Chain A
């Protein structure tokens, strides 16, 4: 598990499913199909991403797919970091 993965999992559990042990949340669990992240949850998750990873999201293309799973969020963070480092 990467450091990001753990941080993402901890955020999701704390915000959306506080009764669930972090280890039970699999990285490929479909957060959208499970109704974990809805429209309001999406806004909270975007704010958290910006704050926690210092990612400028104003010009990034964010879709619900970005938050499909812990793995997808992790990939998005990696991709954004690459983009920042490349510029």
Chain B
């Protein structure tokens, strides 16, 4: 392993740029965590401490797992591994133990670091032997040792898939994101997503590479509106990127306390569709900000961006995913396998300069990564599984997922398209539509809908709304209207199955 001051990484890479920031501006703030202000100099010390610790362990040159919630210690450990060009698998801490074990084995991680909760200041790692005895001699999977960072997909449709990212792709993305959202020294960026989430490539890693300051949201307090309001108020944040849930929490809290956040200049909405009543309240909350809808996936990273024009987008009741980011090539492919030119509907295929070179488990790549020669040359496209509509003005809107289609009374219906229609109602804050088996209809749709507390919405008025846009079979058979927030996954997306389960339990 290399010495951290004479890293083998080329000039301009994320770890090198971090070191350069710490050398030039050691007293500048790098991280804000609870009441602590950690400067670039402090963080470099922590990284150096982690580096020495790793050296003492004399680990072989192989990937390691890091199982940690977001904290300065976890960030310094990741940076230390990056300095050493050691591959890291960074899964969600909320995954089940069997799934974690399987992921660590797939990545060839025989050592897993989890941060000691008893000594928050000093980095101490518990080394967990992840591999059973019979696996110790197994070679590392190809791609695992070359990757800088291995993230995982959310696993909402099965076991999470490992997505290796190499330094050139990470650097390409962080350079784009920094320039696009003007992240430089003097910029404070809120980091809301958990550490394992791809959004951190912007929140944390772009910011540290470019000398900005990251205001870290404690994952354990991510749903506390008062904590979030305090954090944004105290730290004068300039850039916020989050799933719609954060904005809803802030809007609800702001109604009580008449808060608004003057310092925020860029608001990025990502990860999920934002309801219109949330969107329309954003300018009041962030009076000086520009608003963006950003579309991407762990596999490709950000690929489309749309600058939101609140009045224009509200009028059309649909927020487009926007235009491909510079260097991104996108295709709309019909169900028959033809590339759709001009207006039309199909699956979105995307090739980005930031994308992974494929899942770690190669057998998974065949159906998802496809080589195609377009007018820009031959590139590897990622089949997103998202069904999109390209409109006559070139705007692209999400219509559903290839895997969200169900048959109800013989009619093919996208549960996401149903959710989208329900979200277009003014009083709807959140929605989960789930297909449940039915002897007669094949499937029936159940919807759990969170409405505005002050509103009058009931299932009858919502049915009237749905009937204007949806096929009859697509109107949910059961509609539960609630006023409490729907359960969320660790990444802040709506947990559909649990939303329905909670309602069923209540009825019992």
Given contacts A17-B459, A19-B481, contact A33 B467 (CB under 8 A): yes
Q: A2 near B: Cβ within 8 Å?
A: no
- Chain B's closest residue to A43 (CB) is B440
Stretch at the interface among A34-42, A49-57, A70-78, A79-87: A34-42
Interface of B is mostly: mixed
Q: B466 near A: Cβ within 8 Å?
A: yes
Q: B496 near A: Cβ within 8 Å?
A: no
Q: Are the C-beta atoms of A24 and B444 separated by less than 8 Å?
A: no
* Assembly CA distance A62 to B444 (angstroms): 23
- Chain B's closest residue to A13 (CB) is B460
- Chain A's closest residue to B460 (CB) is A20
Q: Could you say which residues of chain A place their CB within 8 Å of the CB of B477?
A: 35, 38, 40-41
- Chain B's closest residue to A30 (CB) is B467
Q: A25 near B: Cβ within 8 Å?
A: yes
- Chain A's closest residue to B482 (CB) is A19
Q: B34 near A: Cβ within 8 Å?
A: no
Q: How large is the interface on A (under 10, 10 to 19, 20 to 34, 35 or more residues)?
A: 10 to 19
Contact of B463 among A35, A39, A40, A43 (CB under 8 A): A35
Q: Are the C-beta atoms of B475 and A34 separated by less than 8 Å?
A: yes
Among B290-342, those with CB < 8 Å from A are none
Q: B458 near A: Cβ within 8 Å?
A: yes
Contact of A20 among B458, B467, B473, B474 (CB under 8 A): B458
- Chain B's closest residue to A36 (CB) is B463
Among A1-33, those with CB < 8 Å from B are 17, 19-20, 24-25, 29-30, 32-33
In this complex, which of B463, B472, B474 has the most chain A Cβ atoms within 10 angstroms of its Cβ? B463
Q: Are the C-beta atoms of A39 and B460 separated by less than 8 Å?
A: no
In this complex, which of B441, B458, B474 has the most chain A Cβ atoms within 10 angstroms of its Cβ? B458
Q: Are the C-beta atoms of B440 and A39 separated by less than 8 Å?
A: yes
* Assembly CA distance A62 to B459 (angstroms): 27
Q: B126 near A: Cβ within 8 Å?
A: no
Q: Could you say which residues of chain A place their CB within 8 Å of the CB of B473?
A: 35
* Assembly CA distance A43 to B463 (angstroms): 21
Contact of B409 among A17, A24, A34, A39 (CB under 8 A): A39
Closest CB in chain A relative to B504 CB, distance in Å: 15
Q: Are the C-beta atoms of B472 and A32 separated by less than 8 Å?
A: yes
Q: Could you say which residues of chain B place their CB within 8 Å of the CB of A20?
A: 458-460
Closest CB in chain B relative to A63 CB, distance in Å: 15
* Assembly CA distance A17 to B449 (angstroms): 14
Contact of B472 among A17, A25, A35 (CB under 8 A): A35
Q: B438 near A: Cβ within 8 Å?
A: yes
Q: Are the C-beta atoms of B444 and A17 separated by less than 8 Å?
A: no
Q: Could you say which residues of chain A place their CB within 8 Å of the CB of B444?
A: 38, 40
Q: B373 near A: Cβ within 8 Å?
A: no
Q: B244 near A: Cβ within 8 Å?
A: no
Closest CB in chain B relative to A68 CB, distance in Å: 12
Q: Could you say which residues of chain A place their CB within 8 Å of the CB of B441?
A: 38-40
In this complex, which of B459, B460, B474 has the most chain A Cβ atoms within 10 angstroms of its Cβ? B460
* Assembly CA distance A29 to B467 (angstroms): 12
Q: Are the C-beta atoms of B440 and A35 separated by less than 8 Å?
A: no
Q: Are the C-beta atoms of A35 and B476 separated by less than 8 Å?
A: yes
Q: B221 near A: Cβ within 8 Å?
A: no
Among B460-503, those with CB < 8 Å from A are 460, 463-464, 466-467, 472-477, 479, 481
- Chain B's closest residue to A26 (CB) is B460
Q: Are the C-beta atoms of B481 and A35 separated by less than 8 Å?
A: no
Closest CB in chain B relative to A22 CB, distance in Å: 11
Among B428-461, those with CB < 8 Å from A are 438, 440-441, 444, 458-460
In this complex, which of B459, B479, B481 has the most chain A Cβ atoms within 10 angstroms of its Cβ? B459
Q: Are the C-beta atoms of A24 and B472 separated by less than 8 Å?
A: no
Q: Are the C-beta atoms of B463 and A34 separated by less than 8 Å?
A: yes
Given contacts A24-B458, A39-B440, contact A34 B476 (CB under 8 A): no
Q: Could you say which residues of chain B place their CB within 8 Å of the CB of A35?
A: 463, 466-467, 472-477
Q: Could you say which residues of chain A place their CB within 8 Å of the CB of B466?
A: 34-35
Closest CB in chain A relative to B433 CB, distance in Å: 12
Instruction: Report A's interface with B, CB cutoff 8 A.
Output: 17, 19-20, 24-25, 29-30, 32-36, 38-41, 43
Told that A20-B459, A38-B477, A39-B440 touch, could you supply 15 new A-B pairs with CB distance under 8 A? A20-B460, A33-B472, A34-B460, A35-B466, A35-B472, A35-B475, A35-B476, A36-B463, A38-B409, A38-B441, A39-B409, A39-B438, A40-B440, A40-B444, A43-B440
Instruction: Report B's interface with A, CB cutoff 8 A.
Output: 409, 438, 440-441, 444, 458-460, 463-464, 466-467, 472-477, 479, 481
8 example contacts (A-B, Cβ-Cβ < 8 A) are as follows A17-B460, A19-B481, A33-B472, A34-B466, A34-B467, A34-B475, A40-B438, A40-B444
